[in-house]
Amino acid sequence: MSTFKRLTLSVALFLFVAAGVSSAAEPVGSITYQPGKVGGGAGKHIVFVCGEWEYRCEESLPMMAKILATHHGFKCTVLFSINPKDGTVHPPTTTNIPDMHLLKTADMMVVFAMDLELPDEQMKHFVDFVDSGKPVFGIRCTLLSFKYNRNKNSPYAERFDCRRNGGYSVPLFGESWKGHYGHHAKESTRGLRAGLQERNPLLRGVFDVWGTTDVYRITTVPDDATVLMYGQVLTGMKPTDPPNLKKCVMPMVWTRLIKPKNKKGEVDKSKKPRRVVMSTIGASQDMESEDLRRLYVNCIYWAVGLESKIPAKADVSYVGGPYKGSKFGRNTWKKGLKPADFAIKAQVPAKAK
């Protein structure tokens, strides 16, 4: 074989291997929405970790990501639970959320998770973000994010399993899972603005919040928490149902400013407090509430330090067509979809009359 042919084959082999390495690093379980030309979120990257099997976050989080990207200028990436056999979005899969490495470039993480037990190599990226001090927004069953049943010797089991002193949710969100307070699937939730926060910019344009999911029981919030909205138990599953006056209101959406500490356990005044948001409402049908979507958008502006840019009435109109959330439940998810199926679809213009 001539020197030229050997050189040609070597170059071809190198390009083939390089292409393989490149493709292996390509996202396989996520979708990214590039920022639009308007909005105050320019330069900020939000990663949504979508990993729960009941509340249809695989529908609601892409919808919110589209709104934040298109109307508010954030770059948004959504990570999904993926069936490793066929690459479809598969909420019952608790052991595989590819592309967790994309958290490395995130300015904020929004997490909606339950009963996960991720491989250590995926989990490491989640842990690194939790330890980074960057803002985190937790939604509903995120208080039950992890349960280690297969790999009880994982280096992350002791700290993150929700059955072990509440897992990571106690130091981060200030509370662990304490159960349903409203009757699950029979008593819905009315959101009530916290009176002492009437002028808080996070409540701008937020007045009418209702959702089909029940109120969670909350036993404590930390001293550094600000409750923005309380959940009131309604006697039925319609927004017009009367409240169950035998049940108290519960903290439903709150923020935290967590002061960082040094190795001695003393407050480190050289570092800014960490910003955290927790919401116990937020299933896919709940997110049909315009004002709940607006509250989420306002909280995200605040979490990344852009509270001065919170609009008077944030645009939370749907992007790419109408949205209708699926009912929560174990087997109500839409089968056979892949991350690319959640792309923004061009709306067909109405015909001229």
Reply yes or no on whether the pLDDT at 56 is more than 90: yes
Tell me how far apart the alpha carbons of residues 145 and 293 are, in angstroms, rounded to a whole number: 22
Q: What is the mean pLDDT of the chain?
A: 92
Higher pLDDT, 26 or 2: 26
H or E element at residue 3: helix 3-24
| Beta strand spans in the chain (E) | 30-33, 45-51, 75-80, 108-113, 136-139, 189-193, 209-211, 225-233, 250-258, 274-279
Tell me how far apart the alpha carbons of residues 119 and 153 are, in angstroms, rounded to a whole number: 12
What is the sign of the dihedral through the CA atoms of 65, 67, 69 and 72? Answer: negative
Least confidently predicted of 40-44, 135-139, 229-233, 347-351: 347-351
Rounded to whole angstroms, what are the CA distances from 33 to 23, 63, 134, 345, 346?
20, 11, 21, 12, 14
Predicted local distance difference test score (pLDDT) of residue 97 = 98
Tell me how far apart the alpha carbons of residues 225 and 227 are, in angstroms, rounded to a whole number: 6
If 0-12 CB within 10 Å is exposed, 13-18 middle and 19+ buried, where does residue 300 land? Answer: buried
What do you get for the CA distance between the two ends of the chain, in Å? 72
Reply yes or no on whether the pLDDT at 253 is more than 80: yes
Question: Is residue 302 within 8 Å of residue 27, measured between CB atoms?
Answer: no
DSSP β-ladder status, 108-113 and 45-51: parallel
Tens of pLDDT, residues 305-332: 999 999 999 999 999 999 999 999 999 9
Tokens representing 286? 């709940």
Tens of pLDDT, residues 45-54: 999 999 999 9
Which DSSP symbol is given to 148?
A: -
Within 10 Å of residue 52's Cβ, how many Cβ atoms? 25
pLDDT band (50, 70, 90) for residue 265:
confident
For residues 218-236, average pLDDT: 98
Please provide residue 290's backbone torsions phi and psi, each rounded to the nearest 5 degrees. Answer: -60, -45
Rounded to whole angstroms, what are the CA distances from 48 to 52, 113, 198, 241, 268?
12, 10, 29, 33, 29
Tens of pLDDT, residues 76-96: 999 999 999 999 999 999 999
